[in-house]
Structure 1
Amino acid sequence: MCADGMIRRCVSDAETRKILDLCHYGPTDGHYGPSVTGKKVYDAGSYWPTIFQEAKTLVETCDSCQRQGNISKSDEMPQQMIQPSNKFLYILVVVDYVSNWAEGKALPTNDTRVVIDFLKQLFCRFGVPRALISDRDTHFANHQLAKVLKRYGVTHRFSTSYYPQTSGQVENINRALKRILEKTVGDSPKIWSKKLDDAL
Protein backbone atom coordinates (compact mmCIF):
# COMPACT_ATOMS: atom_id res chain seq x y z
CA MET A 1 0.00 0.00 0.00
CA CYS A 2 1.61 3.26 -1.14
CA ALA A 3 1.38 6.72 0.46
CA ASP A 4 -1.28 7.80 -2.06
CA GLY A 5 -3.55 4.91 -1.02
CA MET A 6 -2.98 2.87 -4.17
CA ILE A 7 -2.04 -0.79 -4.04
CA ARG A 8 0.90 -1.51 -6.33
CA ARG A 9 2.87 -4.65 -7.19
CA CYS A 10 6.18 -4.72 -5.31
CA VAL A 11 8.93 -5.50 -7.81
CA SER A 12 11.99 -7.65 -7.20
CA ASP A 13 15.52 -6.31 -7.85
CA ALA A 14 15.91 -8.39 -11.01
CA GLU A 15 12.92 -6.71 -12.71
CA THR A 16 13.57 -3.08 -11.77
CA ARG A 17 15.99 -2.24 -14.57
CA LYS A 18 13.70 -3.71 -17.24
CA ILE A 19 10.72 -1.68 -15.97
CA LEU A 20 12.79 1.51 -15.71
CA ASP A 21 14.08 1.05 -19.26
CA LEU A 22 10.53 0.68 -20.59
CA CYS A 23 9.34 3.76 -18.68
CA HIS A 24 12.35 5.90 -19.64
CA TYR A 25 12.77 5.00 -23.30
CA GLY A 26 9.16 4.00 -23.93
CA PRO A 27 7.61 3.06 -27.26
CA THR A 28 7.93 6.69 -28.47
CA ASP A 29 11.59 6.96 -27.38
CA GLY A 30 10.68 9.65 -24.86
CA HIS A 31 13.88 9.82 -22.78
CA TYR A 32 11.98 11.25 -19.84
CA GLY A 33 13.65 12.81 -16.79
CA PRO A 34 14.00 11.04 -13.41
CA SER A 35 10.75 12.31 -11.88
CA VAL A 36 8.62 11.55 -14.96
CA THR A 37 10.24 8.12 -15.34
CA GLY A 38 9.50 7.36 -11.67
CA LYS A 39 5.91 8.58 -12.07
CA LYS A 40 5.48 6.33 -15.11
CA VAL A 41 6.57 3.36 -12.97
CA TYR A 42 3.89 4.30 -10.43
CA ASP A 43 1.28 4.75 -13.17
CA ALA A 44 2.16 1.29 -14.53
CA GLY A 45 1.22 -0.13 -11.12
CA SER A 46 4.71 -1.11 -9.91
CA TYR A 47 6.65 -0.11 -6.81
CA TRP A 48 10.00 -0.51 -5.07
CA PRO A 49 11.55 1.77 -2.43
CA THR A 50 14.38 3.23 -4.54
CA ILE A 51 12.46 4.06 -7.76
CA PHE A 52 13.52 7.70 -7.97
CA GLN A 53 17.20 7.13 -7.08
CA GLU A 54 17.47 4.42 -9.73
CA ALA A 55 15.62 6.59 -12.26
CA LYS A 56 18.08 9.44 -11.58
CA THR A 57 21.03 7.07 -12.10
CA LEU A 58 19.49 5.77 -15.33
CA VAL A 59 19.04 9.30 -16.74
CA GLU A 60 22.60 10.26 -15.74
CA THR A 61 24.00 7.24 -17.61
CA CYS A 62 21.72 7.58 -20.68
CA ASP A 63 23.91 8.78 -23.57
CA SER A 64 21.02 10.38 -25.48
CA CYS A 65 19.83 12.34 -22.42
CA GLN A 66 23.33 13.62 -21.67
CA ARG A 67 23.74 14.88 -25.24
CA GLN A 68 20.62 17.01 -24.80
CA GLY A 69 21.67 18.62 -21.53
CA ASN A 70 21.99 22.31 -20.88
CA ILE A 71 24.46 24.16 -23.06
CA SER A 72 27.30 26.25 -21.71
CA LYS A 73 27.95 29.89 -22.60
CA SER A 74 30.67 28.85 -25.04
CA ASP A 75 28.13 26.76 -27.03
CA GLU A 76 25.49 29.47 -27.27
CA MET A 77 24.83 31.35 -30.49
CA PRO A 78 24.63 35.12 -30.08
CA GLN A 79 21.09 36.43 -29.66
CA GLN A 80 20.51 37.97 -33.06
CA MET A 81 18.40 37.45 -36.14
CA ILE A 82 18.67 33.97 -37.61
CA GLN A 83 21.44 33.77 -40.17
CA PRO A 84 20.42 32.90 -43.72
CA SER A 85 21.44 29.37 -44.63
CA ASN A 86 21.29 28.61 -48.36
CA LYS A 87 18.57 31.30 -48.66
CA PHE A 88 16.53 29.75 -45.81
CA LEU A 89 15.34 32.13 -43.11
CA TYR A 90 12.50 30.31 -41.33
CA ILE A 91 11.72 26.95 -39.76
CA LEU A 92 8.14 25.68 -39.84
CA VAL A 93 7.54 23.09 -37.10
CA VAL A 94 4.47 20.84 -36.89
CA VAL A 95 3.80 18.53 -33.93
CA ASP A 96 1.32 15.66 -33.63
CA TYR A 97 -0.20 16.04 -30.16
CA VAL A 98 -0.96 12.31 -29.81
CA SER A 99 2.42 10.79 -30.64
CA ASN A 100 4.53 13.93 -29.98
CA TRP A 101 6.09 13.40 -33.44
CA ALA A 102 7.69 16.56 -34.84
CA GLU A 103 8.20 17.49 -38.47
CA GLY A 104 9.99 20.61 -39.60
CA LYS A 105 11.16 22.30 -42.75
CA ALA A 106 13.55 25.13 -43.54
CA LEU A 107 11.79 27.77 -45.63
CA PRO A 108 12.97 30.81 -47.59
CA THR A 109 9.76 32.74 -46.81
CA ASN A 110 6.93 32.40 -44.32
CA ASP A 111 4.04 33.14 -46.66
CA THR A 112 0.79 31.22 -46.96
CA ARG A 113 1.76 29.29 -50.08
CA VAL A 114 4.74 27.51 -48.47
CA VAL A 115 2.68 26.71 -45.35
CA ILE A 116 -0.09 25.16 -47.47
CA ASP A 117 2.41 23.14 -49.54
CA PHE A 118 4.07 21.80 -46.38
CA LEU A 119 0.72 20.86 -44.80
CA LYS A 120 -0.40 19.06 -47.99
CA GLN A 121 2.83 17.02 -47.95
CA LEU A 122 2.16 16.07 -44.33
CA PHE A 123 -1.45 15.13 -45.12
CA CYS A 124 -0.21 12.81 -47.90
CA ARG A 125 2.35 11.15 -45.61
CA PHE A 126 0.44 10.86 -42.33
CA GLY A 127 -3.23 11.37 -43.17
CA VAL A 128 -5.54 14.30 -42.52
CA PRO A 129 -5.81 15.41 -38.87
CA ARG A 130 -9.08 16.31 -37.19
CA ALA A 131 -7.83 19.71 -36.04
CA LEU A 132 -4.98 22.12 -36.58
CA ILE A 133 -3.91 24.47 -33.78
CA SER A 134 -1.76 27.42 -34.79
CA ASP A 135 -0.87 30.91 -33.68
CA ARG A 136 -2.49 33.97 -35.25
CA ASP A 137 0.31 34.95 -37.64
CA THR A 138 -0.80 36.05 -41.09
CA HIS A 139 0.49 32.91 -42.80
CA PHE A 140 -1.96 30.85 -40.69
CA ALA A 141 -4.87 33.28 -40.25
CA ASN A 142 -5.92 33.89 -43.85
CA HIS A 143 -8.60 33.00 -46.37
CA GLN A 144 -6.43 30.69 -48.51
CA LEU A 145 -5.46 28.36 -45.66
CA ALA A 146 -9.03 28.38 -44.33
CA LYS A 147 -10.27 27.30 -47.77
CA VAL A 148 -7.75 24.43 -47.99
CA LEU A 149 -8.49 23.18 -44.47
CA LYS A 150 -12.23 23.32 -45.13
CA ARG A 151 -11.74 21.21 -48.29
CA TYR A 152 -9.90 18.57 -46.21
CA GLY A 153 -12.39 18.78 -43.33
CA VAL A 154 -9.85 20.01 -40.78
CA THR A 155 -11.00 22.21 -37.89
CA HIS A 156 -8.68 25.19 -37.48
CA ARG A 157 -8.21 26.52 -33.95
CA PHE A 158 -6.03 29.42 -32.87
CA SER A 159 -3.98 29.62 -29.71
CA THR A 160 -4.39 32.83 -27.80
CA SER A 161 -1.36 34.94 -27.01
CA TYR A 162 -2.60 35.24 -23.41
CA TYR A 163 -2.57 31.47 -22.92
CA PRO A 164 0.70 30.09 -24.36
CA GLN A 165 0.11 26.65 -22.79
CA THR A 166 -2.21 25.95 -25.75
CA SER A 167 0.85 25.29 -27.89
CA GLY A 168 3.06 24.00 -25.07
CA GLN A 169 4.28 20.91 -26.90
CA VAL A 170 5.35 22.99 -29.89
CA GLU A 171 7.15 25.48 -27.63
CA ASN A 172 9.01 22.62 -25.89
CA ILE A 173 10.04 21.13 -29.22
CA ASN A 174 11.10 24.56 -30.53
CA ARG A 175 13.34 25.04 -27.47
CA ALA A 176 14.83 21.55 -27.82
CA LEU A 177 15.36 22.04 -31.56
CA LYS A 178 17.09 25.38 -30.97
CA ARG A 179 19.32 23.82 -28.30
CA ILE A 180 20.29 20.89 -30.54
CA LEU A 181 21.00 23.16 -33.52
CA GLU A 182 23.13 25.45 -31.35
CA LYS A 183 25.21 22.46 -30.26
CA THR A 184 25.57 20.89 -33.68
CA VAL A 185 26.37 23.92 -35.85
CA GLY A 186 29.02 25.24 -33.45
CA ASP A 187 31.12 28.00 -34.99
CA SER A 188 29.42 27.91 -38.40
CA PRO A 189 25.74 28.81 -37.82
CA LYS A 190 25.15 29.33 -41.56
CA ILE A 191 24.83 25.55 -42.05
CA TRP A 192 21.80 25.19 -39.75
CA SER A 193 19.43 24.25 -42.61
CA LYS A 194 21.63 21.24 -43.50
CA LYS A 195 21.56 20.04 -39.88
CA LEU A 196 17.79 20.51 -39.39
CA ASP A 197 16.75 16.96 -40.39
CA ASP A 198 19.36 15.44 -38.07
CA ALA A 199 18.25 17.68 -35.22
CA LEU A 200 14.60 16.68 -35.74
Structure 2
Amino acid sequence: VIKHLLSLFHMFGTPAFVHSDRGSSLISQELKTFLTANGVATSRTTPYNPQGNGQTERYNGIIWKTVQLALQNRKMKPTQWQFVLDEALHCIRSLLCTSTNATPHERMFVHQRRSHY
Protein backbone atom coordinates (compact mmCIF):
# COMPACT_ATOMS: atom_id res chain seq x y z
CA VAL A 1 0.00 0.00 0.00
CA ILE A 2 2.78 2.42 0.91
CA LYS A 3 4.58 1.78 -2.38
CA HIS A 4 1.43 2.60 -4.36
CA LEU A 5 0.58 5.65 -2.25
CA LEU A 6 4.12 6.96 -2.68
CA SER A 7 3.79 6.56 -6.44
CA LEU A 8 0.50 8.50 -6.37
CA PHE A 9 2.01 11.21 -4.15
CA HIS A 10 4.88 11.64 -6.64
CA MET A 11 2.46 11.87 -9.54
CA PHE A 12 -0.28 14.07 -8.05
CA GLY A 13 1.21 15.60 -4.91
CA THR A 14 0.67 14.72 -1.27
CA PRO A 15 -2.97 14.92 -0.16
CA ALA A 16 -4.09 16.66 3.04
CA PHE A 17 -5.94 13.51 4.14
CA VAL A 18 -6.69 9.93 3.15
CA HIS A 19 -10.12 8.40 3.85
CA SER A 20 -10.36 4.61 3.96
CA ASP A 21 -12.32 1.68 5.26
CA ARG A 22 -10.89 -0.37 8.09
CA GLY A 23 -9.12 -2.99 5.96
CA SER A 24 -6.12 -4.49 7.74
CA SER A 25 -3.68 -3.16 5.13
CA LEU A 26 -5.08 0.35 5.66
CA ILE A 27 -4.83 0.49 9.45
CA SER A 28 -1.33 -0.89 9.99
CA GLN A 29 1.12 0.96 12.21
CA GLU A 30 3.57 1.11 9.30
CA LEU A 31 1.04 2.96 7.12
CA LYS A 32 0.06 5.26 9.97
CA THR A 33 3.74 6.16 10.52
CA PHE A 34 4.24 6.76 6.77
CA LEU A 35 1.19 9.04 6.50
CA THR A 36 2.08 10.98 9.66
CA ALA A 37 5.66 11.47 8.43
CA ASN A 38 4.24 12.91 5.20
CA GLY A 39 1.78 15.22 6.99
CA VAL A 40 -1.30 13.31 5.83
CA ALA A 41 -4.30 13.16 8.17
CA THR A 42 -6.53 10.09 8.07
CA SER A 43 -10.21 9.35 8.49
CA ARG A 44 -12.02 6.03 8.39
CA THR A 45 -15.52 4.81 7.83
CA THR A 46 -17.41 3.38 10.75
CA PRO A 47 -17.14 -0.42 11.08
CA TYR A 48 -19.61 -2.54 9.09
CA ASN A 49 -21.03 0.52 7.34
CA PRO A 50 -20.27 0.40 3.60
CA GLN A 51 -22.65 3.36 3.10
CA GLY A 52 -19.89 5.49 4.64
CA ASN A 53 -18.02 4.93 1.39
CA GLY A 54 -21.15 4.97 -0.78
CA GLN A 55 -19.62 6.79 -3.73
CA THR A 56 -16.59 4.50 -3.74
CA GLU A 57 -18.73 1.37 -3.37
CA ARG A 58 -20.89 2.50 -6.31
CA TYR A 59 -17.84 3.11 -8.48
CA ASN A 60 -16.35 -0.25 -7.49
CA GLY A 61 -19.58 -1.81 -8.79
CA ILE A 62 -19.14 -0.02 -12.13
CA ILE A 63 -15.53 -1.21 -12.36
CA TRP A 64 -16.47 -4.81 -11.53
CA LYS A 65 -19.33 -4.82 -14.08
CA THR A 66 -16.95 -3.52 -16.76
CA VAL A 67 -14.37 -6.17 -15.82
CA GLN A 68 -17.05 -8.88 -16.06
CA LEU A 69 -18.04 -7.69 -19.54
CA ALA A 70 -14.40 -7.73 -20.66
CA LEU A 71 -13.99 -11.26 -19.27
CA GLN A 72 -17.13 -12.44 -21.08
CA ASN A 73 -15.97 -10.83 -24.30
CA ARG A 74 -12.67 -12.73 -24.12
CA LYS A 75 -14.23 -15.95 -22.78
CA MET A 76 -12.04 -15.76 -19.68
CA LYS A 77 -12.74 -16.95 -16.13
CA PRO A 78 -13.57 -14.50 -13.30
CA THR A 79 -10.32 -15.51 -11.60
CA GLN A 80 -8.47 -13.89 -14.52
CA TRP A 81 -9.85 -10.41 -13.76
CA GLN A 82 -6.38 -8.86 -13.37
CA PHE A 83 -5.69 -9.43 -17.07
CA VAL A 84 -8.57 -7.18 -18.18
CA LEU A 85 -8.58 -4.60 -15.37
CA ASP A 86 -6.40 -2.02 -17.14
CA GLU A 87 -8.54 -2.20 -20.28
CA ALA A 88 -11.73 -1.90 -18.22
CA LEU A 89 -10.38 1.17 -16.43
CA HIS A 90 -9.30 2.67 -19.76
CA CYS A 91 -12.85 2.26 -21.07
CA ILE A 92 -14.40 3.85 -17.98
CA ARG A 93 -11.97 6.77 -18.05
CA SER A 94 -12.77 7.37 -21.72
CA LEU A 95 -16.57 7.57 -21.32
CA LEU A 96 -18.12 10.99 -21.88
CA CYS A 97 -19.97 12.37 -18.85
CA THR A 98 -23.00 14.27 -20.13
CA SER A 99 -23.16 16.63 -17.13
CA THR A 100 -19.58 17.88 -17.64
CA ASN A 101 -19.29 17.15 -21.38
CA ALA A 102 -15.85 15.66 -20.68
CA THR A 103 -14.36 12.26 -19.90
CA PRO A 104 -12.82 11.54 -16.48
CA HIS A 105 -9.42 11.54 -18.20
CA GLU A 106 -10.03 14.99 -19.71
CA ARG A 107 -11.14 16.41 -16.37
CA MET A 108 -8.06 15.03 -14.63
CA PHE A 109 -5.40 15.84 -17.22
CA VAL A 110 -7.07 18.60 -19.29
CA HIS A 111 -6.45 16.93 -22.63
CA GLN A 112 -8.10 14.27 -24.75
CA ARG A 113 -6.83 10.74 -24.49
CA ARG A 114 -5.67 9.01 -27.64
CA SER A 115 -7.32 5.63 -27.91
CA HIS A 116 -7.87 2.88 -30.42
CA TYR A 117 -11.10 1.73 -28.71
Give the aligned partner of residue 196 of structure 1: 85
Give the aligned partner of residue 168 of structure 1: 54
Which amino acid in 2 is paired with 1:197? D
Give the aligned partner of residue 128 of structure 1: 14
The number of aligned residues is: 86
User: Residues 74-153 of structure 1 correspond to what in structure 2 (within 5 A)?
Assistant: 115-153=1-39
Q: CA RMSD in A?
A: 1.4
Residue deviations 1:68-92 (CA, integer Å, cap 9, x gap): xxxxxxxxxxxxxxxxxxxxxxxxx
Structure 1 segments (4+ residues) deviating >3 Å: none
> Greater strand percent: which structure?
1
Secondary structure at 1:120 match in 2: helix
Return the offset for 1:165: 2.7
User: Residues 22-101 of structure 1 correspond to what in structure 2 (within 5 A)?
Assistant: none
Give the aligned partner of residue 96 of structure 2: none
Structure 1, unpaired ranges of 5+: 1-114
Structure 2, unpaired ranges of 5+: 90-117
Distance in 2 between the 1:194 and 1:144 partners?
30
Distance in 2 between the 1:168 and 1:123 partners?
24
Which amino acid in 2 is paired with 1:142? S
Identity of counterpart residues, as a percentage? Answer: 33
Return the offset for 1:194: 2.2
TM-score normalised by structure 2 residue count? 0.67
Distance in 2 between the 1:128 and 1:168 partners?
24
Return the offset for 1:168: 1.4
Which amino acid in 1 is paired with 2:17? A
Residue deviations 1:4-56 (CA, integer Å, cap 9, x gap): xxxxxxxxxxxxxxxxxxxxxxxxxxxxxxxxxxxxxxxxxxxxxxxxxxxxx
Return the offset for 1:128: 0.8
Secondary structure at 1:139 match in 2: helix
Return the offset for 1:162: 4.5
Which amino acid in 2 is paired with 1:151? A
